[in-house]
Amino acid sequence: MESTLKDMRDGVSDQLVTPWTYSVASGYSLLRDPQYNKGLAFTERERDAHYLRGLLPPATATQQLQEKKLMHNIRQYQVPLQKYMALTELQERNERLFYKLLIDNVEELLPIVYTPTVGEACQKYGSIFRRPQGLYISLKEKGRILEVLKNWPEKSIQVIVVTDGERILGLGDLGCQGMGIPVGKLALYTALGGVRPSACLPVTIDVGTNNEQLLKDEFYIGLRQKRATGKEYAELLNEFMSAVKQNYGEKVLVQFEDFANHNAFELLAKYGTTHLVFNDDIQGTAAVVLAGVVAALKLIGGTLSDHKFLFLGAGEAGTGIAELIALEISKKTNVPVEETRKKIWLVDSKGLIVSSRKDPLQNFKKPWAHEHEPVKDLLDAVKALKPTVLIGSSGVGRTFTKEVIEALSSFNEKPLIMALSNPTSQSECTAEEAYTWSKGRAIFASGSPFDPVEYDGKVFVPGQSNNAYIFPGFGLGLVISGAIRVHDDMLLAASEALAGQVSQENFDKGLIYPPFSNIRKISAQIAANVAAKAYELGVATRIPRPENLVKYAESCMYSPLYRNYR
Ligand SMILES: O=C([O-])CC(=O)C(=O)O
Ligand SMILES: [Mg+2]
């Protein structure tokens, strides 16, 4: 364990390292190895020492100059998917340079490697596929998953992001092509949270797809069959989870991502007591939204328990957020969570969730079936309940209509509107719609990014309420403390740390989140708060506890600067 922690302290140093590739006689494979390749940045001495003479043109370049050139090239592309492909190629050619670009230009590049462009990339993954990234585990590998894990070149894995592709963002079932999501999420683990790339493993579990279009697509990269369900599905996942623990131990974090509702809740409940697991869509989204709501109180007034919340969408994000808000109110007011839940209402595709609908309701919706007469849709629910906060987690775009936002604005001086569904096409409303229809009074944040909007001579800057603020720092906190279980209190700790990072300057612009440009600093704060909670709860195994956890988190973070080779 000590050695992996030392490996993590991968900061800036003059220490010489050995580029550990197989080649000795020729440097050719060094140039082809993304972990060690530096392109024109190999020094004269390194070119001599590693048999690179003649394999590179005579010029040498600094990493800065390479960065300048690449950013210039990427900006030439008009089509976001082309930028995505250029960045993927860079990641596979020169990993450190890829992360240097991502870290230094996070606000510009996040919409490419992440939502919304990553969504389009998944839809077209088969046709843009060049080299595989991540690990594919399909029904064909049943009974051999441990062997498959051993085929992965890295042995000391700290974070796995796994999807089965059934609910990719708000785009639905993309089957095996969901791989873009774990790959993108883990790129953020490194760039935003500082977990070293070699410790990150993207996994896609392919049990088939029900997406007819993909099944017919000649370029589809997955199994051409309908999704396995029931016992067959559960057994494959069980084999995977057991193999992961056997191969990587108790402290590897498994982040479930973009599973369909029924599986997401079941997997989290099933493995939450035996493994270190985290569901980003349920728990990560909950922590980021709670942070935004708590921060927004500065602008909209009152305490959390003074507000009434209405959700459109009662899936992973909706019920996850609702539960965390109820838990936070309960902790702050000493009122049992069964009571605090009553401040929160959810609308699904069948209307308001009320007690008379309880019988056929799925388990995860049942806590939200409060006493009320039936209400058929969102607009009527807004009018009947008069919420102060409206949250969209439906995966369905354009559902916060003009009527809905006007109704909400008729009884709220400053309505808080969060349109969380991704990518941009699925956002419940645009930033412009929220500001225009509320006549500039809404406090607005969205899951996918929107540009600032000018309304009535004033510029409004929407915040991005995306779990990307939370999961990288959250995971780092688990890794540096050697945590073996996730607890809800750690989510609250992460959320509190994020809310604490919003400055007066941000509030003045109407922002309820800090800018992503500070994300590494924010991640260190989140990691420290999460680690502190892990120690407090007795689930941390890295003993002794470092005194200053923020400093420790920062010291563990991966640096993308080139190393010098001996
Ligand atoms: O990936 C994102 O942008 C946020 C997320 O987890 C989702 O929408 O499923
Ligand atoms: Mg997700």
pLDDT tens column, 79-122: 999 999 999 999 999 999 999 999 999 999 999 999 999 999 99
- Please name the residues in contact with 426: beta carbons below 8 A apart, sequence gap of 6 or more: 169, 170, 171, 395, 396, 397
Instruction: Note whether 501 and 514 are within 8 A (CB).
Output: yes
Residue 12 has a pLDDT of 55
| Reported pTM | 0.95
Instruction: Note whether 310 and 391 are within 8 A (CB).
Output: yes
- Please name the residues in contact with 460: beta carbons below 8 A apart, sequence gap of 6 or more: 431, 435, 440, 444, 452, 453, 454, 509, 510
Distance CA 275, CA 151 (A): 22
Ligand closest to CA 114: 1
Among protein residues, the one with the nearest Cα to ligand 1's atom 6 is 281
DSSP state of 545: P
Overall average pLDDT of the 445-472 stretch:
97
pLDDT tens-digit series, residues 295-341? 999 999 999 999 999 999 999 999 999 999 999 999 999 999 999 99
Torsion of CA 356, 319, 510, 386, to 10 degrees: 10
Cα 421 to middle of ligand 1, angstroms: 8
Residue 453 has a pLDDT of 97
Distance CA 160, CA 63 (A): 29
- Closest to 563 measured CA to CA, from 7, 4, 1, 2: 7
Ligand closest to CA 288: 1
Ligand closest to CA 448: 1
Overall average pLDDT of the 483-509 stretch:
97
The atom number, within ligand 1, closest to the CA of 114 reads 3
Confirm or deny that 164 is annotated as ligand binding. no
Cα 468 to middle of ligand 2, angstroms: 10
Residue 5 has pLDDT above 80, yes or no: no
Provide the strand spans (E) within 207-339.
Answer: 253-256, 277-279, 309-312
Confirm or deny that 422 is annotated as ligand binding. yes
Instruction: Note whether 219 and 125 are within 8 A (CB).
Output: no
Ligand closest to CA 119: 1
Among protein residues, the one with the nearest Cα to ligand 1's atom 3 is 115
Which residue shows structure tokens 């559960």?
A: 234
DSSP state of 354: B
Residue 2 has pLDDT above 80, yes or no: no
**Catalytic residue among 99, 114, 248, 552, which?**
114
Which residue shows structure tokens 């008009």?
A: 78
Cα 82 to middle of ligand 1, angstroms: 21
The strand pair at 389-392 and 309-312 is best described as parallel
Which residue shows structure tokens 């992460």?
A: 494
pLDDT tens-digit series, residues 183-212? 999 999 999 999 999 999 999 999 999 999
Confirm or deny that 257 is annotated as ligand binding. yes
Instruction: Note whether 347 and 314 are within 8 A (CB).
Output: yes
Distance CA 333, CA 327 (A): 10
Q: Phi and psi of 392, rounded to 5°? A: -100, 120
Confirm or deny that 167 is annotated as ligand binding. yes
Residue 13 has a pLDDT of 66
Cα 179 to middle of ligand 2, angstroms: 12
Instruction: Note whether 480 and 489 are within 8 A (CB).
Output: no
The atom number, within ligand 1, closest to the CA of 285 reads 6
Distance CA 81, CA 185 (A): 17
Residue 30 has a pLDDT of 93
* 3-class secondary structure, 18: coil
Q: Which two tokens stand for residue 515?
A: 């800018």
The atom number, within ligand 1, closest to the CA of 284 reads 6
Residue 7 has pLDDT above 60, yes or no: no
Distance CA 449, CA 469 (A): 13
**Catalytic residue among 124, 185, 251, 343, which?**
185
Among protein residues, the one with the nearest Cα to ligand 1's atom 9 is 169
Residue to mutate (ligand 1; options 280, 289, 316; most atoms within 8 A of CB): 280
Cα 308 to middle of ligand 2, angstroms: 26
142: annotated active-site residue: no
Q: Which two tokens stand for residue 171?
A: 């785009």
The strand pair at 16-17 and 564-565 is best described as parallel
Among protein residues, the one with the nearest Cα to ligand 1's atom 8 is 169
114: annotated active-site residue: yes
Residue 3 has a pLDDT of 44
The atom number, within ligand 1, closest to the CA of 167 reads 9
Ligand 1 site residues, Cβ closer than 6 angstroms:
114-115, 169, 258, 280-281, 422, 447, 466-467
Instruction: Note whether 415 and 388 are within 8 A (CB).
Output: yes
Cα 285 to middle of ligand 1, angstroms: 8
- The angle subtended at Cα 172 by Cα 169 and Cα 173, nearest 5°, is 115
Overall average pLDDT of the 200-226 stretch:
98
- Closest to 467 measured CA to CA, from 418, 504, 510, 507: 418
Instruction: Note whether 151 and 136 are within 8 A (CB).
Output: no
Overall average pLDDT of the 170-182 stretch:
98
The atom number, within ligand 1, closest to the CA of 184 reads 1
Ligand closest to CA 471: 1
Residue 413 has pLDDT above 90, yes or no: yes
Cα 335 to middle of ligand 1, angstroms: 32
Among protein residues, the one with the nearest Cα to ligand 1's atom 7 is 169
Residue to mutate (ligand 1; options 189, 281, 394; most atoms within 8 A of CB): 281
pLDDT tens-digit series, residues 14-31? 788 887 766 555 689 999
Confirm or deny that 508 is annotated as ligand binding. no
Beta-bridge mates of residue 200 = 159
DSSP state of 543: S
H helices of 444-548, where?
471-481, 488-499, 504-508, 519-537
Residue 4 has pLDDT above 50, yes or no: no
pLDDT tens-digit series, residues 50-86? 999 999 999 999 999 999 999 999 999 999 999 999 9
The atom number, within ligand 1, closest to the CA of 181 reads 1
Q: Which two tokens stand for residue 330?
A: 């309960």
Ion ligand 2: residues, CB < 5 A: 257-258, 281
Cα 176 to middle of ligand 1, angstroms: 17
H helices of 394-449, where?
402-410, 431-437
Distance CA 335, CA 555 (A): 40
Q: Measure Cα distances from 461 to 292, 421, 446, 506 in Å.
A: 14, 18, 11, 9
Q: Sort residue 176 into left (φ over 0), alpha (ψ -120 to 50) or beta.
A: alpha
- The angle subtended at Cα 334 by Cα 328 and Cα 340, nearest 5°, is 55
- Closest to 283 measured CA to CA, from 247, 327, 243: 327
Instruction: Note whether 162 and 206 are within 8 A (CB).
Output: no
